[in-house]
């Protein structure tokens, strides 16, 4: 076992490593401009990354946080508030990652923190039902059009994995249909042509997944109705379910083409397959009733996560009562979880959903997102940089391409990911933290006010000039 650096070594290392990397911008929100400070030694971050990497594969607990595809060392976050995160070097960044979606009301929102503190003081976990779980279940069923019943779990992956099992058990069929570039968590059966980290690291189909497990997983191009139609014509009576991100957010942000979701709904109904909307990312991100309300499509099952936990581990899956009634202990299809419906996580989720339920919440966020993207396009054009943007609600995508549109995985992979990496690094040095991958969507929060958007655009002007 190699001798691991002791904490004291690391601290000393920081002090005298002399390892200076590029100057990191540091800005004081009060100053409306950035104050370049002398080159900051990057060794703190580097030392922390090396320490983490000694015990955690790749130094991260999720590949999406790695800076592998954009270069450099991940930020280690010390704290966050509103629209900003602060790293362990004391640098502040305007944050467009938002924990990859959950932090839509802003970091450390006082109402959410207070709700979690109150819950914590009453006990952390009981392994028994609590009324707060019922409160959350009722809230989700009231707001999400297709939900008659819902089961709470601890992550989006658990939600999609359970929904798949339920669909296969309910229909007695095995075939699953998914779409290239869509990511539904690291479920074995769905790690085929997956998006997000699986795409960023160029391993859309992960080793360790036995061929037999994915033999029943069929992948179609996103937004391609004719391919879906042909598959159903050929094998419709074998298909248990179609699982789709109603707005793809894991090959960066790709909206559904007009008629795409409607076609999937019709095909599933016609052939007795279940339509599963994976709304882990779009849930309470693209509107108060999720994507299914925005697009007027009722899936048979829905997977949720992220926002419904407000930053704590909550996932959920739900849908038609006749399907959900097949779940243990009511029915024979098994699913379980020690911490499912956890008291703190449900407190954070309920407090968050209360805020996003306020009148106009999503209209304001959608308008601000549009303002941000219009400003970015304008400044990119001024700098002679080919930039396309996609937006649905308060999620967006940036694509360095002069193609007329970005509608599927092939369009996304044809974009200039090198230029994205350069833009990411330039923006980071200007104090703006984008998702560290050309295949991840960006997210606004309620704390991204007009001043934050303006600061972002000023930073982008400088960053585009450096590309």
Give the active site residues.
183, 278, 306
Min CB(246)–ligand KE4 separation in Å? 9
The answer to whether the beta carbons of residues 235 and 272 sit under 8 Å apart is no
Query: Which residue in 334, 335, 286, 333 sits closest to 306, CA to CA?
Result: 286
Region near ligand KE4 per CB under 6 A, out of 106-114, 152-160, 260-268, 321-329: 152-160
Bridge partner residues of 147 (DSSP): none
| Segment contacting ligand KE4 by CB under 6 A, of 8-16, 153-161, 227-235, 347-355 | 153-161
| 64 scored as a contact of ligand KE4 (CB under 6 A) | yes
Which residue in the shown chain puts its C-beta closest to ligand KE4?
A: 156
Among 130, 146, 217, 250, binds ligand KE4 (CB under 6 A): 250
The verdict on 95 binding ligand KE4 (CB under 6 A) reads no
Residue 277: CB minimum distance to ligand KE4, A: 10
- 442-443, strands of its sheet edge to edge: 388-392, 395-399, 442-443
Q: Decide if residue 440 touches ligand KE4 (CB under 6 A).
A: yes
Q: Which of 56, 114 has the CB closer to ligand KE4? A: 56
Q: For 9-46, give the DSSP string.
A: HHHHHHHH---B-SPPEEE-TTSSSEEE-S--BTHHHH
Strands 25-27 and 175-179, bridge-based pairing: unpaired
Find the shortest distance in angstroms from Cβ 309 to ligand KE4. Answer: 9
Decide: is 278 part of the binding site for ligand KE4 (CB under 6 A).
yes
Q: DSSP character for 314?
A: -
Which of 250, 456 has the CB closer to ligand KE4?
250
DSSP one-letter string for 324-392: HTTBTTTSSB----TTTT-HHHHHHHHHHHHHHTSTTHHHHHHHHHHHHHHHHHHHHHHTT---EEEEE
Stretch that binds ligand KE4, among 181-189, 204-212, 286-294, 348-356 (CB under 6 A): 181-189
Choices 86-94, 209-217, 277-285, 387-395; region in contact with ligand KE4 by CB under 6 A: 277-285
Q: Is the dihedral of CA 12, 427, 408, 292 positive or negative?
A: positive
Residues 52, 7: contact at Cβ < 8 Å?
Answer: no
Distance of closest approach, residue 202 Cβ to ligand KE4, in angstroms:
16
CA–CA dist 303, 159 (Å, integer): 5
Residue 249 or 319: the one with the smaller Cβ distance to ligand KE4 is 249
Residues that bind ligand KE4 (CB under 6 A): 62, 64, 100, 155-157, 160, 183-185, 196-197, 245, 249-250, 278, 280-281, 305, 315, 440
């Amino acid at each position: 076992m190699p001798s691991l650096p002791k904490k004291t070594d690391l601290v000393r290392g920081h002090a005298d490593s002399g390892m200076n990397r590029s100057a990191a911008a540091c800005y004081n929100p009060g100053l409306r401009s950035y104050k370049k400070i002398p080159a900051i030694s990057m060794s703190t971050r580097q030392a922390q990354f090396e320490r983490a990497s000694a015990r955690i594969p790749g130094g991260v607990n999720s590949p999406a946080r790695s800076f592998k595809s954009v270069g450099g060392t991940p930020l280690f976050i010390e704290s966050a508030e509103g629209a900003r995160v602060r790293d362990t070097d004391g640098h502040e960044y305007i944050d467009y990652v938002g924990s990859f979606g959950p932090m839509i009301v802003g970091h450390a929102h006082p109402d959410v923190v207070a709700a979690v503190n109150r819950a914590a003081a009453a006990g952390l976990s009981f392994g028994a039902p609590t009324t707060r779980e019922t409160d959350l279940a009722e809230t989700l069923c009231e707001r999400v059009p297709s939900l008659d019943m819902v089961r709470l779990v601890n992550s989006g992956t658990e939600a999609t994995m359970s929904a798949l099992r339920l669909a296969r058990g309910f229909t007695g069929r095995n075939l699953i249909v998914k779409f290239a570039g869509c990511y539904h968590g690291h479920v074995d059966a769905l790690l085929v042509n997956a998006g997000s980290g699986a795409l960023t690291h160029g391993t859309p189909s992960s080793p360790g997944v036995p061929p037999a497990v994915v033999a029943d997983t069929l992948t179609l191009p996103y937004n391609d109705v004719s391919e879906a139609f042909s598959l159903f014509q050929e094998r419709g009576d074998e298909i248990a379910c179609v699982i789709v991100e109603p707005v793809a957010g894991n090959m960066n942000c790709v909206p559904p083409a007009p008629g795409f979701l409607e076609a999937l709904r019709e095909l599933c109904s016609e052939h007795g397959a279940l339509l599963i909307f994976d709304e882990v990312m779009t849930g309470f991100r693209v509107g108060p009733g999720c994507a299914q309300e925005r697009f007027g499509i009722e899936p048979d099952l829905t997977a949720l996560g992220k926002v419904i936990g407000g930053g704590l581990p909550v996932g959920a899956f739900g849908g038609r009562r006749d399907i959900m009634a097949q779940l243990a202990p009511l029915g024979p299809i098994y699913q379980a979880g020690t911490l499912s419906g956890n008291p703190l996580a449900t407190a954070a989720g309920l407090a968050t959903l209360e805020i996003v339920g306020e009148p106009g919440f999503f209209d304001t966020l959608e308008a601000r997102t549009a303002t941000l993207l219009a400003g970015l396009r304008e400044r990119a054009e001024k700098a002679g940089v080919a930039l396309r943007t996609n937006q649905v609600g308060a999620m967006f995508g940036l694509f360095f391409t002069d193609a007329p549109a970005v509608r599927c995985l092939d369009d996304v992979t044809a974009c200039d990911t090198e230029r994205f990496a350069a833009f990411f690094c330039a923006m980071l040095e200007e104090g703006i933290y984008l998702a560290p991958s050309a295949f991840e969507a960006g997210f606004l929060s309620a704390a991204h006010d007009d001043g934050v958007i303006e600061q972002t655009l000023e930073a982008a002007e400088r960053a585009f000039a450096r590309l």
